[in-house]
Amino acid sequence: MLYRETGQFRTSYAADQAIFPLRQDRIGLAAIALVAALAVPLLADDFFINTIMIPFLIFALASIGLNLLTGYAGLLSLGTGAFMGVGAYACYKLTTFFPEVNVLLLILLSGFFSAGIGFVFGLPSLRIKGFYLAVATLAAQFFLDWCFNRIGWLYNYNASGAIEVPTREAFGIVLTGPTATPLARYMAVLALVVLMTWLASNLVRGRIGRSWMMVRDMDIAAELMGIRLLRTKLLAFAVSSFYCGVAGAMMVFLWLGAAEASSFGINVSFQVLFMVIIGGLGSLLGSFMGAAFIWILPIVIRAVPATLGLDIGAATVEHVSFMLVGGLIIFILIAEPHGFARLWQVAKQKMRTWPFPY
Amino acid sequence: MGEILYLILIDPFVQMAELPDFFLQVLWEGFVSGILYALIALGFVLIFKASGVFNFAQGIMVVFAALSLVGLYEAGVPAFLALALCVLIMLGLALGVERLVLRPLVNQPDIILFMATIGLTYFLIGLGEFIFGGEPKVMITEELLLPTGSYAWEVMGGLVIFQQIDIAAAVIAVVLMTALGLFFQNTRIGRALRAVADDHQAALSVGISLNQIWAIVWFAAGIVALATGIMWGARSDVSFALQIVALKALPVLVLGGLTSVPGAIVGGLIIGVGEKIGEIYWGSMIGGGIEGWLAYFIALAFLLVRPQGLFGERIIERV
Amino acid sequence: MRLRQALLGAAALAVAAGAPAAPVLADLYVPLLTYRTGAYAGSGIPIADGMHDYLAMLNERDGGIGGVRIAIEECETGYDAQKGVECYESTKGKGALVYNPYSTGITLQLIPKASVDKIPVLSMAYGLSAAAEGETFPWIFNPPDTYWDGASAIIRYIADQEGGLDALKGKKIGYIYLDAGYGREPIPLLEQLAQNYGYELVQYPVPGNQMQNQSSQWLNVRRDRPDYMVMWGWGAMNPTAVKEAAKIRFPMEKFIGVWWAGGDDDARPAGEGAKGYKTLNFHGVGADYGAIQDILEHVVKKGQSKVASPDKVGENLYNRGVMNSVFIAEAIRTAQELTGKKEVDAVDVRRGFENLNITEARLKEIGLEGFMKPLEITCEDHSGHNPVYVQQWNGQRWEPASEWFEPMTDVVRPLLEQAARDYVQANQPWPERAEPCG
């Protein structure tokens, strides 16, 4: 009843291929868009925007990037953190050379550098599969980490080896640097994430996305049916790294404000992988849900004792938070191995038949 | 250009020949770290062979085992009793993991199981710090009657120093590996385990209990982790940073092949010696500290030739 | 049904947690960014204990500072820059008076934010060396010494051992460091001094993920045979380095660490082998100070401290934490005197720091006579470039191994000024100092 499709007729091919063919979905999306673009800026305080919304959106974009590779093309990668780093350092160099250019454009451009690096490290994927490939991507992770540390040119020979984001504007508004307001940064992040999610959703429904899924399901069969494996796999690596690179550039420019090599360590790779798995492999919506869960859960856990007035040491809270996060991940994997995206499917089905389930 | 080629192709070998005693020392250090990498990799292999789980938590199990040992000792338990209790703790961990993680997740895709072990890693990090605190601890080397001195061997106009603890590590590793090898080769449980590794369903149908086998391999991996923890702990100290070192076992693992015990050993030695020689003789050319990724590139180079690792089972795909 | 109730409960909890806790306006709110977890916990724990216990002692003994209680809140960063920024964002709204990031990475992220949010950052002898330039960085304070002071002091000490700065010519000095912002910070100065005095600098970076696996670095040391080793290590890197040095039989009295490489737990695990290992220091070690006895009496005995055992009180890094809190407390007290208000805010505390003058007499008053050298911060100089001394591990505890001596301020100062200009150049538009002096 709540989610009734009856009576909604599609009378053209275009209507049939729409991303959201159902009225309820369109209403839901509009509501989310309104909340994200109006309610959050008007009602939320700086802490909420800075600590929850901005990182959540950035990690959601990185998760989409990894999901394209792992969920759609079936290639497991543990190098996400490093690819994000490539984007960040590329953006830093670009803005050093072209300080006048719109910083949002530079953030998008830096994705291409990341895509190039992803392309190179994707080359072994033709021969190596499964966990062997995952370990091979660790080579990218550790090698790039080392580069961020050792190649002084990347951080302009800064004595501390960190990249610090200068003040830059776009459309006359200060977007990066210490003087940028959280609101301006949030709106920039939101705009980029929405744009790139829309692109991704069209990509995975089209020829490219379908060829990725063929490779994922069985690459030999796909090859026999005329899919060029090398091209398809490398394209998956490049597109995925592009997304991760843009997310990395946003992470430093629109969220953290400064970063060192350790900001793009292996922990970030695992964090993003968690988001993808918990959210659901092969689902863009899942990437958002996974990112929300993995990012917000520890923050909530940390805030609980203070809110309840319990005097527990910060360290103990951290230990408990680790245990809870680990335990919950196992629990969710057991309860629903296909992630939140699957839960959402189930919920939709329930709503469809409510109140007369059969 | 010629100079660069000289630096890369010739100079390192000149250095090796000029200081032969130092070269021996490098080989020895590489050998010892190789043994320790191999021990960690062995834990991975045992579990992967029997259950197809890529157990990321092996690294934290090393830390957890060592922490429990030192923690118990500091709480006043005599050293060897603490060691025995630790074995029990690892048994409890194995049973718990089998019951609470593996059994509910049976038949799930590999990546889900892999993720579950990362979840387990987080849980054990939290639990370990919660119980024993985050301070690094000193391994109770002497209390466990492990030697701590060093031998100096004058050879080829120089000095090669052997730490007794490193020798002990090598001996213990060899004993452990032989014992595990014999166990899996000659006992009923060992045969059952190999049957499970070959084919889960076939093993089930001849009456082998998967759950029992899983608990046994996790326990065996726990024992290996305990031994590794003692040895690494004696080399530096017992802290959570050790877990990062355990990541080094991953290239060892893929180099040797995920399912092969000899592969883990050979892989460990190749990586251990290879990265030491690379770091010492070539690393300084590009700024040093290349050990962090060199192991992965060595593994990658081998993989490009043999995608299933040196001793891995050949991957045959059919449409 | 049970699942639904559980979910509702969880949702309610989440909503409750999301609501920000009410700011405690009546108190002096001092958030402490600490780390008791992770790979650097070994160094982080004693410092966190020291910082917390001194402030808690002021609350117990004096009822706070100037009669106003201090609200102490620890926030766990795990030495991770992301979590550090999260801690900053979540506490700054509650009226934080000053931040102590205890991580060079987090400090670098807070430096640009400090002047915008108008909250001072106290990075006590770590962070950006150039921040000592008060004219450029009015909100950042790094007393009593910068890393560059430390590096120059070590070189001066080595020169003294060898019989003068001229004797450095032709010597080989090895520098082993954590390959991160922290360890790289002193390199420009060490290179500059190498040019000035003609010694050869050999660098041994230790990547963060190889902290406990340093045998390659030390093999290289064995081959290169440097005359002295200088170390910039932190966390699990330190005990491993000391062990490895002992293993290759490097003469320990020629192995000198910066003040952060001098934890008791850094030297102790190497046992006999660590005997002779030296580090810099700028404060006293041990519990034989009035204030520290007060901590034992008012805080530790009452079970309000998190120290594992009372004999941890007085260890080197514990006392470092105490010193950090002395600076905080004295800055707040100075701010109270300057403004005449009891409940000062972050802007006043910045003034307090800038007018901080801890004299011998004042040290005696607060029960820390001989604990440290007097410290005076001015508008131009946010560091003080204070004297330091070298301490040596005797197998049980740290013992002084030299007199107090000055770092090479004359070399350091021009470099600091240049570095500050470079920083401003790279971070245009950098705000001009708008805060009046005094």
Q: What domains, with CATH codes, occur in chain C?
A: 25-146+286-385+419-426 (3.40.50.2300), 147-284+388-416 (3.40.50.2300)
- Paired tokens of B289: 């500290």
Whether the pLDDT of residue A233 is over 90: the answer is yes
**pLDDT band, very low/low/confident/very high, at C169 (cuts 50, 70, 90):** confident
- Find the mean pLDDT for residues C184-189: 87
**pLDDT band, very low/low/confident/very high, at C249 (cuts 50, 70, 90):** confident
Helices marked H in A176-313: 182-205, 207-217, 219-224, 229-250, 266-279, 284-308
Q: Sign of dihedral through CA atoms A243, A245, A251, A253?
A: negative
- Find the mean pLDDT for residues B196-207: 84
User: pLDDT exceeding 70 applies to what percent of chain B?
Assistant: 99
Whether the pLDDT of residue C427 is over 80: the answer is no
Mean pLDDT of chain A: 88
| Beta-sheet pairing, C375-376 with C357-358 | antiparallel
Provide, as residue numbers in chain A, all residues whose Cβ is less than 8 Å from the Cβ of B317. Answer: 220
Phi/psi at B153 (5° precision):
-120, 115
Q: Which amino acid is at A128?
A: I
H/E element, C391: strand C389-393
- Paired tokens of C158: 């080595």
Whether the pLDDT of residue C310 is over 60: the answer is yes
User: In this structure, how many other beta carbons lie within 10 angstroms of the beta carbon of residue A7?
Assistant: 6
CA distance C169 to B275: 34
In a domain? residue A141: yes
Q: What is the pLDDT of residues A20-30, one digit of tens each?
A: 777 888 888 88
CA distance B124 to A319: 10
More confident residue, A144 or A358: A144
Q: What pLDDT, on a 0 to 100 scale, did the predictor assign at position C228?
A: 93
**pLDDT band, very low/low/confident/very high, at C89 (cuts 50, 70, 90):** confident
Q: What is the pLDDT of residues A271-290, one digit of tens each?
A: 999 899 889 888 999 999 99
Burial class (CB in 10 A: 0-12, 13-18, 19+), C9: exposed
**pLDDT band, very low/low/confident/very high, at B45 (cuts 50, 70, 90):** confident
CA distance C380 to C132: 8
CA distance B249 to B35: 11
In a domain? residue A157: yes
Q: Which amino acid is at C370?
A: G
- Paired tokens of C100: 């102590």
**pLDDT band, very low/low/confident/very high, at B319 (cuts 50, 70, 90):** low
Neighbours of chain B (3+ CB pairs under 8 A): A, C
Task: Give the nearest partner residue to C215 out of B29, B241, B288, using CB atoms.
Answer: B29
**Within 13 Å and on the Cβ side, how many CA atoms surround A138?**
26
Q: What pLDDT, on a 0 to 100 scale, did the predictor assign at position A1?
A: 61
Q: What pLDDT, on a 0 to 100 scale, did the predictor assign at position C22?
A: 42
Distance from CA of C120 to the nearest CA of A (A): 15
**pLDDT band, very low/low/confident/very high, at A207 (cuts 50, 70, 90):** very high
Whether the pLDDT of residue C11 is over 50: the answer is no
Q: What is the pLDDT of residues B101-150, one digit of tens each?
A: 888 888 788 888 888 998 999 899 889 888 887 777 888 877 877 887 77
Provide, as residue numbers in chain C, all residues whose Cβ is less than 8 Å from the Cβ of A150. Answer: 179, 205
Give the structural domain span for A108.
Answer: 46-266
- Find the mean pLDDT for residues B159-183: 86
In a domain? residue A160: yes
Q: Which amino acid is at C349?
A: V
- Chosen CATH of B2-305 out of 1.10.3120, 1.10.1760, 1.10.730, 1.10.3470: 1.10.3470
- Find the mean pLDDT for residues B68-81: 89
The residue of chain A nearest to residue C184, with distances taken between CA atoms, is A160
Q: What pLDDT, on a 0 to 100 scale, did the predictor assign at position C21?
A: 43
CA-angle at B113, arms to B111 and B116, nearest 5°: 110
**Of the listed ranges A25-34, A349-358, C88-97, the one predicted with least confidence:** A349-358
Q: What pLDDT, on a 0 to 100 scale, did the predictor assign at position A210?
A: 93
Highest mean pLDDT among A348-357, B63-72, B103-112: B63-72
CB spacing of B293 vs A337 below 8 angstroms:
no
Q: What pLDDT, on a 0 to 100 scale, did the predictor assign at position C13?
A: 45
Q: Which of C49, C50, C185 is nearest to C104 (CA)?
A: C185
Provide, as residue numbers in chain A, all residues whose Cβ is less than 8 Å from the Cβ of C75. Answer: 314
Q: What is the pLDDT of residues A33-51, one digit of tens each?
A: 888 888 888 888 888 888 8
Task: Give the nearest partner residue to C212 out of B245, B275, B284, using CB atoms.
Answer: B245
Mean pLDDT of chain C: 85
Question: Is A322 near chain B, with CB under 8 Å?
Answer: yes
Task: Give the nearest partner residue to C105 out of A51, A162, A304, using CB atoms.
Answer: A162
Provide, as residue numbers in chain A, all residues whose Cβ is less than 8 Å from the Cβ of C73. Answer: 314
Q: What pLDDT, on a 0 to 100 scale, did the predictor assign at position A235?
A: 94
Whether the pLDDT of residue C25 is over 60: the answer is no
* Cα dihedral: A259, A260, A265, A270 (round 10): -10
Residue A299's SS3 state is: helix
How many domains does chain A contain in total? 1
User: In this structure, how many other beta carbons lie within 10 angstroms of the beta carbon of residue C392?
Assistant: 18
Whether the pLDDT of residue A302 is over 90: the answer is no
User: pLDDT exceeding 90 applies to what percent of chain A?
Assistant: 37
**pLDDT band, very low/low/confident/very high, at A67 (cuts 50, 70, 90):** very high
Q: What pLDDT, on a 0 to 100 scale, did the predictor assign at position B90?
A: 92
User: pLDDT exceeding 70 applies to what percent of chain C?
Assistant: 94
Asked if C324 contacts C330 with a C-beta cutoff of 8 angstroms, the reply is no
User: pLDDT exceeding 90 applies to what percent of chain C?
Assistant: 20
Q: What is the pLDDT of residues C42-78, one digit of tens each?
A: 888 999 999 999 999 998 888 888 888 888 888 888 8
Q: Give the CA diameter of chain A.
A: 68
- Find the mean pLDDT for residues C200-218: 86
Q: What pLDDT, on a 0 to 100 scale, did the predictor assign at position C15?
A: 43
Question: Is C219 near chain B, with CB under 8 Å?
Answer: yes
CA distance B234 to B266: 23
H/E element, A168: strand A168-170
CB spacing of A318 vs C115 below 8 angstroms:
no
With a CB cutoff of 8 Å and minimum separation 6, the contacts of B276 are B26, B27, B29, B30, B33, B291, C215, C216, C219
| DSSP, res C176 | E
CB spacing of A330 vs B119 below 8 angstroms:
yes
**pLDDT band, very low/low/confident/very high, at C425 (cuts 50, 70, 90):** confident
Q: What pLDDT, on a 0 to 100 scale, did the predictor assign at position B53?
A: 84
**pLDDT band, very low/low/confident/very high, at B89 (cuts 50, 70, 90):** very high
Q: What pLDDT, on a 0 to 100 scale, did the predictor assign at position A62?
A: 96
Q: Sign of dihedral through CA atoms A139, A141, A145, A151?
A: positive
Question: Is C209 near chain B, with CB under 8 Å?
Answer: yes
Whether the pLDDT of residue C14 is over 90: the answer is no
Asked if C40 contacts C234 with a C-beta cutoff of 8 angstroms, the reply is yes
Q: What pLDDT, on a 0 to 100 scale, did the predictor assign at position B211?
A: 86
**pLDDT band, very low/low/confident/very high, at A292 (cuts 50, 70, 90):** very high
Task: Give the nearest partner residue to C239 out of B148, B236, B287, using CB atoms.
Answer: B236
List Cα–Cα distances, A169 to A164, A247, A255, C164, C274, in angstroms.
Answer: 15, 19, 15, 54, 54
Domains of chain B, by residue range, sit at 2-305
Q: What pLDDT, on a 0 to 100 scale, did the predictor assign at position B47?
A: 87
